[in-house]
Amino acid sequence: MIDKELVKKNRNNADFWPSVNQRVAHEPLTWIEISKSALHHNISNYRSLIKPGVLFVPVIKSNAYGHGMLAVGSILQDHPGVDGAAVVAISEGIALRENGFGKKIIVLGIIDAGLQEVVRHNLELVVYDQEVIDQLNEIAKKLDSRARIHIKIDTGLSRLGFFTNEAFETIKAAFNLPHVEIIGISTHFANSESDEDSFVNLQLSRFNELINKLRLEKITIPLQHATCTAALGAYENAHGSLVRFGIGLYGLWPSNENRQAVMEKMPNFSLIPVLKWKTRIIQLKTLPAGSFVGYDLTHQVQQETKIAVLPVGYWDGLDRRLSNKGSVIIRDTIVPMIGRIAMNLCMIDVSGVPGVCIDDEVILIGEHEMVSADAIAGHTGTINYEIVTRINPLVTRIVV
């Protein structure tokens, strides 16, 4: 049993720590904090943009964009303003169901488990292949049930989906299958994050033209959905009867252009980042002037420098391109990362942090603009989506 008061008194005593390193078995040295209140804030703000009766379905695919699918799913299950959740693969839908998620689950198209699981777990599968529709009809027949599907339309993204010119006949045929229920029709915009709207309008016109053509054949599909986070804020005419709500759920903007477009319409609109990534110092040392730091000798200190070693590296999802570029926050002070980020470790310069101790908490990603997902994306030449989704799913997630 560790005497925590003794640990606190001896944090700066290097000789003391080898005997208490067993603490790592009880406390994670790096973890993700998920803010329940920030999630609620973001849901409320985006929910206010849609008309009553339009279904509101957050996207929690790919481990909830790195935030933790089961943790986020449990919060959505209890939120009265949320009508369901969207995931990318059947296996994710199964995991949600088996962990108590009882609302609508839309699987956005990756078939990584048997199609019978779609029916057994009451999942709604987005389909883009006639053979899959036929198979679902046969499976549902054997199970004395009906498979609920959404038809995916490729209106210009050139990704998954039926082309509009082939979708009409496919839907007509599927509409008459006894064990398949078409409850949705969907498409996805190619550049709704941009401030240029001509291609969005082209895609939307193609989508609506198909829906109107089906109506003339007395085929009415209850749920029409094209809207992602960016379109939700910028294109009210695209809301349909269901909106899919992705990156904004996590308090991140799809792009600067989209942020400007939304803020021009609604100056009081705001998002709060949901995720904080934290770690702790595991060693402190003072380097003499001229010392090199890390692999490949990419950083050399010019004067006596106090550094801290952190138990986080690119295995955990800390991008190696942050070497000698990134920043962290410790004791409310912004400090630089120095040297190469390694697989499991990285170093920071804490010379300017008074009283710094072993086991001090360090913020790797947070709300501050210097350590935000957007800032890190800028350093590494990517987008905020990638920064959060690439955090290793084995890193502990905690709802706070």
Residue 295: active-site member:
yes
Residue 314: active-site member:
no
- Predicted confidence (pLDDT) at residue 24 exceeds the cutoff of 70: no
Q: Which of 4, 172, 285, 295 is catalytic?
A: 295
* Residue 158 exposure: Cα atoms within 13 Å on the Cβ side: 1
Give the rounded distance of the alpha carbon of 185 from its chain centre.
Answer: 24
- Predicted confidence (pLDDT) at residue 77 exceeds the cutoff of 80: yes
Q: Give the bridge partners for 143, in sequence order.
A: none
Pairing mode, strands 162-163 and 147-154: parallel
With contact defined as beta carbons under 8 Å apart, do 238 and 254 qualify?
Answer: no
Per residue in 195-213, pLDDT (tens digit) is 889 999 999 999 999 999 9
**pLDDT cut 70: percent of the chain above it:** 94
- Predicted confidence (pLDDT) at residue 10 exceeds the cutoff of 60: no
Per residue in 250-293, pLDDT (tens digit) is 999 999 999 999 999 999 999 999 999 999 999 999 999 999 99
Model pTM? Answer: 0.91
Q: Which of 61, 104, 152, 276 is catalytic?
A: 61
Per residue in 348-398, pLDDT (tens digit) is 999 999 999 999 999 999 999 999 999 999 999 999 999 999 999 999 999
Please tell me the distance from the alpha carbon of residue 273 to that of residue 266, in angstroms, as a whole number: 19
18: pLDDT confidence band, cut at 50, 70 and 90?
A: very low
**pLDDT cut 90: percent of the chain above it:** 90
Per residue in 154-187, pLDDT (tens digit) is 999 999 999 998 999 999 999 999 999 999 999 9
With contact defined as beta carbons under 8 Å apart, do 85 and 278 qualify?
Answer: no
What is the chain's alpha carbon radius of gyration, rounded to the nearest angstrom? 25
What does the buried/exposed string (b/e) look like for 169-181 if buried means 16 or more CB atoms within 10 Å of the residue's CB? ebbeebbebebbb
Per residue in 301-354, pLDDT (tens digit) is 999 999 999 999 999 999 999 999 999 999 999 999 999 999 999 999 999 999
The one-letter amino acid at 7 = V
- Predicted confidence (pLDDT) at residue 25 exceeds the cutoff of 90: no
The phi-psi region of residue 126 (left if phi > 0; otherwise alpha if psi is between -120 and 50; otherwise beta) is beta
Please tell me the distance from the alpha carbon of residue 86 to that of residue 156, in angstroms, as a whole number: 22
Q: Once rounded to an integer, what is the mean pLDDT over residues 141-146?
A: 97
pLDDT at 4: 46
What are 108's two structure tokens?
């956005």
Please tell me the distance from the alpha carbon of residue 309 to that of residue 284, in angstroms, as a whole number: 6
Q: Which position has the token pair 């210009």?
A: 156
pLDDT at 17: 38
